[in-house]
Amino acid sequence: MKRTAFVLSLCLCLALGSCAPGGAPDDDDPPPEPVAVNIIENAASVEVGHTFQFHYSVSNTANTSCTWSVDNVAGGNATVGTVDGTGLYTAPAAVPTPAQVTVKAVAVADASKSDTATVTVLAPPPFTISPATATVPAGASQPFTTTADVYWSLEGADGNTAPLGSIGTDGVFTAPLAPPLGGEVTVVATSKTDPSIHATAVAAITFSNASFHGPYAFVFRGADAGGPTFIGGRLTADGAGAITEAHLHIYQGAGKLDAAPFTGAYQVQADGRAALTLSDGETTKTLRGVLASDDSAHLIGSGPVAAGSGEIERQEASALSGSTPLGTFVFGYDGTDFHSADDPKRGQPIAAAGRFVISSDTLDPIHDGIADINRNGQWIEGGDSGSTFFGWITYQGYGWGYMRLGHTLGADQFAYFMLSPDEALLIGWYGSLYLGETLGVIGRMARQTAGPFSASSLSGALADISHGYRAVPVPTPDPFVPAGPAFSAGVVTANGAGQFTSGLTDTNVGGTVGQGSPVTGTYAVAANGRGTASITAGGLTNTTAVYLASNNSAVATGLDTWGTGLSAFSPRTAGPFGVGSLDGHYAFTLRGTLTSPSTDVSGQILFNGLGALAGAVDINAAGVLATDVPVTGSYTMEATGRGVATITAPAATWTVTLYVKDAATVLLLGTSFPSNGTLVRQY
């Protein structure tokens, strides 16, 4: 199962310190790249009277429009078929001679640039399938019938790797538990007497309660007028709307609740948006969210949880093995001291990154730990004054347990929730009766693989996204003001020899926006995977501590004085990119709440591959929830993979910066309000 890696920003410290926009090009800049047209599907077979949607991209120009033709006839005709301005081809009523025709797209920006695709027009089969189309909720069944004696089979879209469901010899189709790529499954009936003859039907798959099934772990960061709340736990969803076998941990200024049993219910809508209700018999927590697949969802708060955001991910069967994890792990966490008036570090933010070893040694199960901690802009290097730390770990059941990390001067008590033998979500706590301090954090740990490490362990294109905080003045001012939020997203290229040779980053620090700032810098990596990086963007240079979990994947924290936050690198797909790089239905999340209530959004948005978008979202604006909000808009995409989306809801319009990470994931930076998030392709 694909897991969410540590994906946070290289340039968080730069976001905290400066938000200068990118510089203007100089006279030595290379000439622009030539316009390029690419039709994604180079061939298609289309039955007479049916349609086929070609997808395309136009790179290196702001004008991404094309003119289309069929066999050099503009727009086509009734003999060879027609094609509209979006690339939608409609086959003629009869098979032409020859049966193959050529569809061509020509760039409006440069008529010398074009691409072609071949269409084979097919005669109708001597039998048909009934129904020809059907909408089937995930996990549900739909019978298909035909008058011929046939074999039944299923086909998915080109490039699909997701399950398609199943179909029996009687033609009864059972839908997969989440929509596959393209959202459709083609049902194929092949003649037993002549296998060259077949008919097809289409099953459109939607999400349903069956999409949320089995064991999951989750963490959530919320805030209301009383301060921040950190929630973590695990649950089992029955696939029919009920939650069982659940334990909830809540850490807040008033105290903590550990491993409280709870039950709940949920409802998944056709587009993947969902509502969850969790109750321990005395209090009820309600959450909204959107499923990216049947393996994961992004959460926002509603009801008593007020504002906030989080994530929920499937626990693999191997994560429920009944024992503590073993091996070397890299971790990262962040949070704040609570807002209680008598806490001497009231509201101060904290972030940490590090590594430790878990062994079967009963006297010293966690050892050789090192961490870099930034508490309110004060760097604590390598644990307690540079020494290693130790700790212990227990297993409680259902893939979760407790950890203690000694002498780290940060959060030292954790509940962990295994997602797999290699990865876990964390919720942490520190409380000192002597000092009067209490803080809460959430985070993640991942098994460290590969190694020994070196500068070559960071090489090539990397993506980054971050969240962090401005430092709180010391002593704490009265009236108290929570730490200001800072967000960033961007991309960077490492040369494998200690240099960041290029990159871009966008930042939003408390509403002050920096756009498209160039990034350069240097880095060094020790054999144990700990490194440091010196990063320059927007005219400011800062330092960060980096811990590699594997080659090109690392969690990090800033070492400078104006604030703190969590950051990391992850591999990025090479370009060039265009508006066609976003094509499909995406789970959309923007999170703005860190230390105080802000705006958090989740929902589903369709990007059509041509620069237009539409969908429906749920919005929590500082504790005020609006559901089923329709949105429309447009988006652009540069060859670098940086783009801008304008999203319009009935009451507001948002501008969001886009950075393509890979075919399934786009990183987001909110510019209309401080936030960041992701687009994760559903289908």
Exposed, middle or buried, 223 (CB in 10 Å: 0-12/13-18/19+)? Answer: buried
Stretch (H or E) spanning 12: helix 12-17
User: How do residues 334-385 score in pLDDT, each as one tens digit?
Assistant: 999 888 777 778 889 999 999 999 999 988 899 999 999 998 988 887 644 4
Strand duo 423-432 + 540-550: pairing: unpaired
Distance CA 328, CA 93 (A): 64
CATH number at residue 100: 2.60.40.10
User: How do residues 147-176 score in pLDDT, each as one tens digit?
Assistant: 999 999 999 988 889 999 999 999 999 999
In a domain, 289, yes or no: no
Last residue of a domain, one of 175, 206, 237: 206
Question: What is the pLDDT, as a whole number, of residue 432?
Answer: 66
The amino acid that residue 292 corresponds to is A
Last residue of a domain, one of 543, 572, 601: 572
Question: What is the pLDDT, as a whole number, of residue 16?
Answer: 52
Distance CA 516, CA 209 (A): 41
211-to-124, 141, 272, 628 alpha-carbon distances in Å: 35, 14, 8, 20
Whether 77 and 103 map to the same domain: the answer is yes
Distance CA 532, CA 526 (A): 9
Residues 6 or more apart in contact with residue 50 via CB below 8 angstroms: 90, 91
Distance CA 615, CA 6 (A): 28
The amino acid that residue 598 corresponds to is S
pTM: 0.89
* Residues with pLDDT less than 70, the chain: 1-30, 303-305, 382-387, 407-409, 432-436
Contact (Cβ atoms closer than 8 angstroms) between residue 186 and residue 202: yes
In a domain, 455, yes or no: yes
The count of structural domains within the chain is 4
User: How do residues 49-95 score in pLDDT, each as one tens digit?
Assistant: 999 999 888 888 888 899 999 999 999 999 999 999 999 999 999 99
Whether 343 and 484 map to the same domain: the answer is yes
Contact (Cβ atoms closer than 8 angstroms) between residue 174 and residue 104: no
Contact (Cβ atoms closer than 8 angstroms) between residue 324 and residue 401: yes
Residue pointed to by tokens 């604590």? 380
CATH number at residue 589: 2.40.128.120
Distance CA 629, CA 649 (A): 7
195-to-130, 150, 171, 205 alpha-carbon distances in Å: 19, 9, 17, 27
Beta-bridge partner residues of 252: 229, 255
Distance CA 244, CA 264 (A): 7
Whether 8 and 68 map to the same domain: the answer is no
Say how many C-beta atoms besides its own lie within 10 A of residue 85's C-beta. Answer: 12
Distance CA 293, CA 178 (A): 6
The amino acid that residue 568 corresponds to is A
In a domain, 128, yes or no: no
Q: Is the dihedral of CA 322, 327, 331, 337 positive or negative?
A: positive
22-to-237, 325, 542 alpha-carbon distances in Å: 47, 45, 17
Question: What is the pLDDT, as a whole number, of residue 280?
Answer: 83
CA proximity to 119, closest of 70, 168, 154, 78 = 70
Whether 542 and 518 map to the same domain: the answer is yes
Say how many C-beta atoms besides its own lie within 10 A of residue 379's C-beta. Answer: 16
Contact (Cβ atoms closer than 8 angstroms) between residue 525 and residue 454: yes
In order, the DSSP letters of 228-254 are: EEEEEEEEEEESSSEEEEEEEEEEETT
Whether 405 and 456 map to the same domain: the answer is yes
Distance CA 105, CA 116 (A): 6
Domain residues for the domain of 363 are: 1-14+317-572
Whether 417 and 529 map to the same domain: the answer is yes
Whether 555 and 597 map to the same domain: the answer is no
Q: What 3-state class would DSSP assign to 495? A: strand
Distance CA 303, CA 227 (A): 16
Question: What is the pLDDT, as a whole number, of residue 431?
Answer: 73
> What is the rounded radius of gyration, in angstroms, for the C-alpha atoms of the chain?
27
| Residue 32: CA count within 13 A, CB half-sphere | 10
Whether 201 and 346 map to the same domain: the answer is no
Lookup: tokens for 197? 């003859």
User: How do residues 118-156 score in pLDDT, each as one tens digit?
Assistant: 999 999 889 999 999 999 999 999 999 999 999 999 999
Whether 458 and 558 map to the same domain: the answer is yes
User: How do residues 647-671 score in pLDDT, each as one tens digit?
Assistant: 999 999 999 999 999 999 999 999 9
Last residue of a domain, one of 555, 572, 589: 572
516-to-179, 351, 489, 641 alpha-carbon distances in Å: 35, 26, 10, 11
Characterize 619-645 residue by residue with b for buried, 16 or more Cβ atoms within 10 angstroms of its Cβ, and e for exposed: bbbbbebeeebebebbbebbbbbbbbb
Question: What is the pLDDT, as a whole number, of residue 171?
Answer: 98
Distance CA 121, CA 118 (A): 10
Contact (Cβ atoms closer than 8 angstroms) between residue 355 and residue 528: yes
The full 3-state SS of 589-657, as one line of letters, equals EEECCCCCCCEEEEEEEEEECCCEEEEEEEEEECCEEEEEEEEEEEEEECCCCEEEEEEEECCEEEEEE
Distance CA 237, CA 623 (A): 26
Say how many C-beta atoms besides its own lie within 10 A of residue 20's C-beta. Answer: 15
User: How many residues are given for the chain?
Assistant: 683
Whether 641 and 513 map to the same domain: the answer is no
Say how many C-beta atoms besides its own lie within 10 A of residue 193's C-beta. Answer: 8
In a domain, 218, yes or no: no
Whether 480 and 566 map to the same domain: the answer is yes
Residue pointed to by tokens 């071949």? 118
CA proximity to 8, closest of 452, 585, 567 = 567
In a domain, 231, yes or no: no
Whether 145 and 78 map to the same domain: the answer is no
